[in-house]
Amino acid sequence: MRVGIIGGGVIGLGIGWRLAQAGCAVTLFERDRAGSGASHAAAGMLAAGIETEPGERDLFTLNHQSQALWPDFAADVQAASGLDIGYRTEGTLRIALTRDDAAKLRHELAFQQSMGVALEWLTPAQAREREPYLDAKLAGAVFSPADHQVDNRKLAPALAAAFSKAGGVLREGQKIERIEIEAGRARALRTASGLHEFDVIVLAAGAWSGLIEGFPPLPVRPVKGQMLALQMNPAAPLAHHVIWAPGVYIVPRADGRLVIGATVEERGFDGALTAGGLLALLDGAWRALPGIEELPVIETWAGFRPGSRDDAPILGASGIDGLIFATGHHRNGILLTPVTVAAVTETILSGVSDPRILAFSMTRFQKRQQAA
């Protein structure tokens, strides 16, 4: 089977890798460099537990399925690529700095525990045993042992290497202008250099998925996030866990980078960094970990989450024969990579929609429109 994939983020690369392993002839088109989109900008948190919110039951299930797949997926990617991906299992701490924060956190904890998420309430002393540099005002914390992290800037290159080693063809610097559809079937991809024919086409172009011509517009929009990184001494890091504080999260990497994120902004593809955005991130991080004050700022950046109309991914059959969607992963695309890759690959190989992604097909928007 000849498969053409649009987009070399973690989603397109992961699907391409598994399809190439299964014997498909896969060509992946990336208009820039592989892994340069949201997959580069992200924080790499695998936060299915701490992010559990009311009203997202299908997404809750998908997030947890993917989280459970992560340890084996990480081992497989590392073995297939020969590259480390910085998968870390210390877990996540969500902290409260005031009594009001603590009351809110306890309230959310009760809901999350009622959903079966394994979380633990920590007193300030218990939280400080885990993270001694947390601010003295600490009022309590929730510990989520299963919310791990991966270094997304290592993950995408590792997936690209695994994809190429499995026989996939990676075409960087090649933008897909249009999907050619004839008699209700997707047949080819058009680039500036010509037409490329395939049996199956996978759209995995992240926040840009709605911009490709040739088929009805997809409800995917860019959701901007500003981030910054500080440099810690890797031999004496200020933090070991992923830490969520009010308005900000803090993610320590093994090389001493301390990633701080992220704003959530509806500004189209405006990638400007703003004083207000960076100030809010630094202020939130400093209130949680005052020791960051002396650390050098080593990078600032903005990225675009691929948000769908209901903020859940759009996966599987498109309603057009031969065209499969794998997009709209919004703020959890790194977390959702293993389940997306497994389910979309299975759907393509078997020709039958994988049950794990049935609730995330494009038809859910059409059904809602009809019901309205």
Q: Which runs of E-coded beta strand occur in the chain?
A: 2-6, 25-30, 45-46, 92-96, 120-122, 140-144, 148-149, 169-172, 178-182, 185-191, 194-197, 200-203, 220-231, 242-245, 248-252, 257-261, 297-308, 314-317, 323-327
* CA–CA distance, 29 with 8 (Å, rounded to integer): 7
The stretch among 91-99, 108-116, 199-207, 343-351 that binds ligand FAD (CB under 6 A) is: 199-207
Q: By CB under 6 A, tell whether 7 contacts ligand FAD.
A: yes
Q: By CB under 6 A, tell whether 36 contacts ligand FAD.
A: yes
Q: Which is nearer to ligand FAD, 102 or 242 (CB)?
A: 242
Least distance CB 370 / ligand FAD (angstroms): 28
Near ligand FAD by CB under 6 A: residue from 11, 250, 258, 320: 11
Q: Which is nearer to ligand FAD, 13 or 139 (CB)?
A: 13
The footprint of ligand FAD on this chain (CB under 6 A) covers a number of residues equal to 44
Among residue numbers 306 through 325, which ones bind ligand FAD (CB under 6 A)? Answer: 306
For the chain, the residue count is: 372
Q: By CB under 6 A, tell whether 332 contacts ligand FAD.
A: yes
Q: Which is nearer to ligand FAD, 6 or 139 (CB)?
A: 6
Record the tokens describing residue 214, joined without a space. Answer: 């040739």
Q: By CB under 6 A, tell whether 32 contacts ligand FAD.
A: yes
Q: What is the CA radius of gyration of the chain?
A: 21
Cis peptide leading into residue 262 (ω within 30°): yes
Q: By CB under 6 A, tell whether 38 contacts ligand FAD.
A: yes
How many beta carbons lie within 10 A of that of residue 120, not counting itself?
Answer: 13
Q: By CB under 6 A, tell whether 176 contacts ligand FAD.
A: yes
The stretch among 17-25, 48-56, 100-108, 202-210 that binds ligand FAD (CB under 6 A) is: 202-210
Among residue numbers 282 through 311, which ones bind ligand FAD (CB under 6 A)? Answer: 303-306
Q: By CB under 6 A, tell whether 73 contacts ligand FAD.
A: no
Name residue 27's amino acid: T
As a 3-state breakdown, the chain gives helix, strand, coil percent values, each rounded to 5, of 35, 30, 35
Q: Which is nearer to ligand FAD, 32 or 72 (CB)?
A: 32
Q: By CB under 6 A, tell whether 212 contacts ligand FAD.
A: yes
Q: By CB under 6 A, tell whether 261 contacts ligand FAD.
A: yes
Near ligand FAD by CB under 6 A: residue from 88, 187, 331, 356: 331
Least distance CB 269 / ligand FAD (angstroms): 11
Near ligand FAD by CB under 6 A: residue from 140, 225, 256, 316: 225
What is the DSSP-derived secondary structure letter of residue 234? Answer: T
Near ligand FAD by CB under 6 A: residue from 19, 20, 42, 97: 42
Contacts of 314 (CB under 8 A, 6+ apart): 218, 219, 220, 308, 325, 326, 327, 328, 360, 361, 362
How many beta carbons lie within 10 A of that of residue 184, not counting itself?
Answer: 9
* CA–CA distance, 233 with 215 (Å, rounded to integer): 50
Near ligand FAD by CB under 6 A: residue from 15, 26, 45, 357: 45
Q: By CB under 6 A, tell whether 4 contacts ligand FAD.
A: no
What is the DSSP code string of 75-137? HHHHHHH------B-S-EEEEESSHHHHHHHHHHHHHHHHTT---EEE-HHHHHHH-TTS-TT
Interface residues with ligand FAD (CB under 6 A) are 6-12, 29-32, 36-39, 41-45, 175-176, 204-208, 212, 225, 227, 261-262, 303-306, 327, 329-335
